[in-house]
Structure 1
Amino acid sequence: MPDLALRRRELGAFLRSRRERITPSEAGIPPTGRRRTPGLRREELAFLAGISATWYTYLEQGRDIRPSDQVLTALATALRLTEHERDHLFHLAGTPAAAGPDEPEPVDPAVTAIPMLLRHNPAYLTGASYDLLAVNPAAAELFPDLDTAGEARPNLARWMFTSPAARRVLVDWEREAQVLLARLRAAAGLHPADPRFTSLVEDLHAASPEVRKWWPRYDIQVRRTGTKRLRHPRRGIVTMTHTALHVAEHPEQTLVIYHWPES
């Protein structure tokens, strides 16, 4: 199929680009005089990854072969790929990246401080699976129980589907809940074996009849700027715009900022 052929070519180009950026000295290979190409030779990378040089050459040439998870992991290690580069490698190979341990997401303290700096505007930071990483007091007032949600690790999706406060605050709760579930569905599709997502989806199915009804529809959305009608404890019903900003070093983390309507 054309898309598979394109993906194989992209995989080869990605491997070649990463191979060419690693010097022999960085890989612990003794210098051997003048080299015609930058970085490692194909046979050198194959040796470091413990695979056949011919087989690796076929892979880089975009031939119709399917590398195993073990081979992809060995290549990612030999190429010193970052977490996002490793995920991209597995994606191009048509194989979901193996899930890592269920550990808290790395969070930059400078980023978690931003919601507190905003003060007047409700703001919070979410992780890849909608764990709440930072919530300012204005957001905690607007969204009661958002910073606890009865969980050791607060989560926006759990709050949406299990907290009675969510249905009180969100005037159009059903629409907003469907949108959030569609975004979670899209995110979970990028991490099919990640325990952060599998356990969350299982919990939501157990707790919410709406999730059990809507999840099989396979709605997909991505986070974007928009408006919500919200019931504020002091201001009554207000229509607020919100802006979603992705963190540069962790693009699956999102800073959400709400803007009060002008008087």
Structure 2
Amino acid sequence: MINSRTVLVTGATLGIGKGIANVFAKNGYNVVLSARNAAHGAQAEQDIKAASGNEKVLFVAGDVTRFESMRQVVATAVATFGGLDVLCANAGMFPSAKLDAMTEQEWDDIFAVNVKGMLFSVQAALDALRQSPAGRVVITSSITGPVTGFPGWAHYGSTKAAQLGFMRTAAIELARDGITVNAVLPGNIYTEGLQGMGDAYLDSMKASIPMKRLGDVEDIGYAALFFAQETSGYVTGQSLIVDGGQILPETLEAVDA
């Protein structure tokens, strides 16, 4: 598929971010991957080129918690591919900490990446997105926080809810520039990070999902692609839950009733 549009995906070297980047690459986009770990970045670039057959994939090291770093990432994307049309603000972290043990530093660290990092990514990309005939911002939020809760993730859930508050006002402010701002809310997606939760957690999550399976990273990628397309220009300030129906049952018994 021939496509001249360019996407920047933050947190793109592992997990959901890598899945999003691979979907865009398979659909002909010029893809810029960004994250802090250069070794993971080089491997992700190679993997996505091989999986997609698209050679227009580039890793650029960047730190979403530093505005100047993100400004340089965007500048490289523009210089390499002639512009930027889509920002997938995906970078995030999800450590666990119960309320009675959570430290101020743990709270500050997750907000720095998940919320401030989203803000800096969007701010750095704005000038380039305004030059696009169809600028798009797609935020990776979560069902945790906006819709559900899970012990140990009060700080994580707070950041994901904050992202949706940001999205709604940003969508209003940027509408005059023709830029849409939307969010994808993943449920339990099978990633390296989720594997670390252990088999018991994975089995319990599968049992609570009507589709009886965890999501694939490309399930989130195709949701992001919908928001990113030029044909989705009248959709803004919206959130799309991609969770296999996880939030629907009132009880676990309802899943098998």
TM-score over 0.5 (shorter chain): no
TM-score bucket (shorter structure): under 0.3
TM-score (norm 1): 0.23
Higher relative contact order (CA 8 A, sep 6+): 2
Larger Rg belongs to: 1
TM-score (norm 2): 0.23
